[in-house]
Structure 1
Amino acid sequence: MRSLILFLQQVNVEQKLKDAPDSQYQIGVLIGSFVPFIVLAVIAYTLYYRAKKKEQNLK
């Protein structure tokens, strides 16, 4: 099941940029491809910060 989801989520950004109708679409594709990584980084940092703060309160 997981491999099916990963297969469906694969996006060929280079192909989308090549077939883009204008530059605004290209910018949207690039931003859209970076958003998941930014969201994951924010979640990871938040979890790290909360764990570190909790550890300091226990001392």
Structure 2
Amino acid sequence: MWVEAWKVARWRREGEAVDQVTQSSIAWEKPSREWMKCNTDATIFSDILQIGVGVVLRDDSGEFVR
């Protein structure tokens, strides 16, 4: 799962990032009727001391919410 990939990405060995990343195929499912789903992602660019964040909000039809 993505949590394990995140943990691996955070591990450090003698100042170098670990190369091993676990990937899995997960299908997105729309939320229940009258609900919205918020998917998020983030990354850290340690070499330039910046972060990136992404957010997607979808309704119960699977349509993007603006």
Q: TM-score range by the shorter chain?
A: under 0.3
Normalising by structure 1, report the TM-score.
Answer: 0.21
Say which one has the larger Rg. Answer: 1
